[in-house]
Amino acid sequence: MIPQGGIRYLNPKITPTVQTMKFLTALKTALGLAPGCEKVNEFLADYVEGTLDEKTMAQFEEHMDMCKCCSHYMDQYRQTIDMTKQLDDIVVPAELAEHTMFFLRNSEAFSKDEG
């Protein structure tokens, strides 16, 4: 049984390998003791904004340390935020706005007709 608060190592001088840590993270996820990739991605905005509680933040960071895919996604997420902050306000030409609204109003996906 995994002790509450996580896994403790008998000998603190022995550092587990990355492969072992990945296995333990996957095991904890499978047992429902840690969030998986999908759940972690739901926390991205809250993590960046600093609104996660301590326990969730620790689980999030542990997952990011072990999951190359999620950490890469997080890097892209942060880069996107940084890039959008650098953008000036975009003025949409009136003709483009009218064309887009005409398209949306006449599109089957956005049709209000329940016929």
Domain limits of the chain? 18-110
Structure confidence at residue 65 (pLDDT): 82
The contacts of residue 33 (CB under 8 Å, 6+ apart) are: 2
For residue range 13-59, list pLDDT tens digits in order: 666 676 776 777 777 777 777 777 888 888 888 999 999 999 889 88
Reported pTM = 0.52
Q: What is the dihedral of CA 54, 60, 62, 68, to 10 degrees?
A: -160
What percentage of the chain's residues is helix, strand, coil (to nearest 5)?
65, 0, 35
Residues of the chain with pLDDT > 90, as a percent, come to: 17
